[in-house]
């Protein structure tokens, strides 16, 4: 026979249940705070990544603009020289036509190179997106383990 004093009363059961509920609530609050901190960190990472990409694009644009100005001056002089050389063997109009064709070909090649460089730039923070996916998996795992602890503790 068991003694009635040894068995927990209804009040004890309620207190124990209240304490377990409080512990579960604290665990969820801790997880929520961790998730808030993670979200803030991810936002900061995304901002830093976007700033980095903007700096790369800005530098590329500045170098490209300087190169374009110098190249335009040099190409103008080169095509005038080409026309003058060709003018020694053919009519002026033909020499001008050939040098203009060469200029258009050079412009097309350089334009294609610039296009291929700018195509590599990504304004989407890929590292941050990957990190956020990992964080979501972590949060789900934390919620699952907390739910498992809370259900196993009440049995």
Contact partners, residue 46, CB within 8 Å, separation at least 6: 125, 128
Name residues whose C-beta falls within 8 Å of residue 98's C-beta, 6 or more positions apart in sequence.
Answer: 82, 83, 86
pLDDT at position 132: 78
> What pLDDT shows up at residue 151?
62
pLDDT of residue 150: 59
Task: Say if CB 128 and CB 45 are below 8 A apart.
Answer: yes
Which pLDDT value is given to residue 65? Answer: 92
pLDDT per 10-residue tile (average), the chain, 155 residues: 60 80 84 85 86 89 91 86 90 88 88 88 75 80 71 55
pTM of the predicted protein model: 0.40
Q: What secondary structure letter does DSSP report for 154?
A: T
The string of DSSP codes covering 55-103 is HHHHHHHHHHHHHHHHHHHHHHHHHHHHHHHHHTTS-HHHHHHHHHHHH
């Amino acid at each position: 026979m068991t003694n009635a004093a040894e068995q927990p009363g209804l009040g004890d059961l309620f207190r124990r249940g209240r304490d377990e509920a409080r512990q579960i609530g604290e665990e969820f609050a801790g997880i929520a705070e961790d998730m808030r901190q993670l979200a803030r960190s991810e936002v900061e990472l995304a901002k830093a990544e976007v700033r980095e990409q903007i700096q790369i694009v800005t530098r590329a644009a500045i170098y490209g603009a300087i190169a374009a100005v110098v190249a335009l001056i040099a190409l103008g002089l080169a095509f005038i020289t080409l026309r003058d050389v060709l003018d020694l063997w053919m009519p002026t109009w033909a020499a001008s036509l050939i040098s203009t064709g060469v200029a258009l070909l050079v412009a097309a090649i350089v334009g294609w190179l610039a296009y291929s460089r700018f195509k590599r730039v990504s304004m989407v923070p890929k590292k941050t997106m990957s990190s956020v996916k990992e964080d979501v998996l972590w949060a789900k795992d934390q919620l699952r383990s907390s739910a498992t602890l809370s259900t196993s503790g009440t049995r």
